[in-house]
Amino acid sequence: MKIERKEVLKVLENISAPGEGKNMIESGAVTNVMTFADEVVVDITINNPTLQARKKTETEITNIIHSKISEKAKVKVNIKVEAADKPTIKGKTIPGIKNIIAVASGKGGVGKSTVTANLAVTLAKMGFKVGLLDADIYGPSATIMFDVMEEKPLAVNIDGKSKMKPVENYGVKILSIGFFTQPNQAVIWRGPMASKALNQMIFDAAWGELDFLLLDLPPGTGDIHLSIMQSLPITGAVIVSTPQTVALADARKGVAMFQQENINVPVLGIIENMAYFTPEELPNNKYYIFGKEGAKHLAEDIKVPFLGELPLVQSIREAGDVGRPAAMQTATPLEEAFENLTKNVVQEVVSRNKSLPPTEAIKITTMAGCSTVNKK
């Protein structure tokens, strides 16, 4: 008899750990599951359980595996206790990382990854220590944009622990969900799996000292975003939008998500991408094909800083496709545009850090089917 790890994860979704509203997979209480033939090992980490609660959890896990998978399964449950007063991994700040900037967009395809890649190389050129974490589970693209598709993060040993070493190019340390998936394979990452993978890329990675860790978020405003904000102390968010009405409506939702009362991630500002089309040979000709200054007006309307605009030019697209971000080309109008944008972002980070305390990671609990978000 061979029990599959997948089956176990699935049945564990039916039970919750003591004190947690969500099921134990979603809540992160299940820290590891291993299967060997008919043997199942489940590791659980919970805050200060009573002996009774421990026993109950153990029995529930054993029973559900016996009833839903196989009566003959040999189940071993290891319960680790995490003292409530000790910060959990979710609330932890990340040693060595000074600022985490989330780059978000409501809508896909607006140039979020392009902007992130160019911000990253520009920050590196300015002398900052920069990391880029491509967290776009729907369409990771950092490996293409940085021409590191053939590379894989190596394992390094740090203080006796094995850590993932980010791949480096153009002065930017990179980890991407794309390193762990096949290019042609459709991977459906479910919320908890995705946040687990992301957690590993953050906490089990050897980022070293970073002034900025840029986070290329998936488009949209769904569960996965809440998961990410739950696990990371994000300094601030940058929203990318085109001037088009449909993109603006989604950008507005994106801003609202970060500003939500119990999330409170400061929005550093909005970037207008594809502000106008300009042919390389006629740089003074500007065609406002998606409308004019839409993102700028949105920023004014909702009172968040406007960080700048980028034109739609063929060379930005080409640079992304060949894996050498456009901002790498020196002494071009584009380099200047990216520099202005980056300076504005840095300035907003500086003034944000002066006026606000560090962002705390948040705890999200589900009660009676409705999702509530609590500051830890």
Ligand X SMILES: Nc1ncnc2c1ncn2[C@@H]1O[C@H](COP(=O)(O)OP(=O)(O)O)[C@@H](O)[C@H]1O
114 interacts with, out of ligand X, Mg ion, none, CB within 5 to 8 A per kind? ligand X
Strand, coil or helix: 18: coil
Q: Residues 319 to 348: which contact Mg ion by CB under 5 A?
A: none
CA 282 and chain centroid, separation: 38
What tokens were used for 28?
């992160």
Which residues on adjacent β-strands are paired with residue 100?
213
Minimum distance, C-beta of residue 108 to ligand X, in the bound complex (Å): 5
List the single partner that 346 binds among ligand X, Mg ion, none, CB under 5 to 8 Å by kind.
none
310 binds ligand X (CB under 6 A): yes
- Give the binding range for Mg ion (CB under 5 A) out of 106-114, 203-211, 261-269, 359-367: 106-114
Note whether 241 binds Mg ion by CB under 5 A: no
* 359 and 229 Cβ atoms separated by less than 8 Å: no
Min dist CB 118 to ligand X, Å, is 9
Q: Quote the CA–CA distance of 138 and 219 in Å, as a whole number.
A: 8
Q: How far is the CB of 341 from Mg ion (least distance, A)?
A: 17
Is the CB of residue 276 less than 8 Å from the CB of residue 289?
yes
| Exposed / middle / buried, residue 216 (Cβ in 10 Å: 0-12, 13-18, 19+) | buried
CA 138 vs. chain centroid, Å, equals: 12
35 binds, among Mg ion, ligand X, none (CB under 5 to 8 A by kind): none
Site string (133-152) toward Mg ion, x via CB under 5 A:
---x----x-----------
> Running DSSP on this structure, what letter comes out for residue 231?
H
**Minimum distance of Mg ion from residue 140's CB (angstroms):** 7
Residue of 49, 111, 192, 325 interacting with ligand X (CB under 6 A): 111
Q: Identify what 273 binds: ligand X, Mg ion, none; CB under 5 to 8 Å per kind.
A: ligand X
Query: Is residue 317 at the binding interface for ligand X, with CB under 6 A as the rule?
Result: yes
Residue choice 8, 316, 327, 362 for contact with ligand X (CB under 6 A): 316
Q: What is the contact mask toward ligand X in residues 274 to 293, using x (rule: CB under 6 A)? A: x-------------------
Q: Does 333 bind ligand X (CB under 6 A)?
A: no
CA 312 vs. chain centroid, Å, equals 26
- Check: CB of residue 215 under 8 Å from CB of residue 100: yes
Q: Should residue 114 be labelled a site residue for Mg ion when binding is judged by CB under 5 A?
A: no
**How many helices, marked H, and strands, marked E, lie in the chain?**
10, 15
Q: Which one of 119, 234, 313, 345 is in contact with ligand X (CB under 6 A)?
A: 313
Shortest Cβ 307–ligand X spacing (Å): 14
Burial label for 118, CB within 10 Å (0-12, 13-18, 19+), is buried
Q: How far is the CB of 311 from ligand X (least distance, A)?
A: 6
Identity of the residue numbered 136: D
Determine the interface stretch with ligand X among 92-100, 109-117, 177-185, 283-291 (rule: CB under 6 A).
109-117
Alpha carbon 115 to chain centroid distance? 15
- Which parts of 62-91 interact with Mg ion (CB under 5 A)? none
Number of residues near ligand X (by CB under 6 A): 17
d(CA 349, CA 267): 10
The phi, psi pair for 254, rounded to 5°, reads -60, -45
24 Cβ contact list (under 8 Å, min separation 6):
12, 13, 15, 16, 17, 30, 44
The one segment of 17-25, 150-158, 282-290, 314-322 that binds ligand X by CB under 6 A:
314-322
273 vs 342, which CB is nearer to Mg ion?
273
Structure tokens of 184? 């042609």
CA atoms within a 13 Å half-sphere pointing along the CA-CB vector of 201: 30
Residue 113 interacting with Mg ion (CB under 5 A): yes
Site for ligand X, rule CB under 6 A: 105, 108-114, 141, 273-274, 310, 312-313, 316-317, 320
Site for Mg ion, rule CB under 5 A: 113, 136, 141
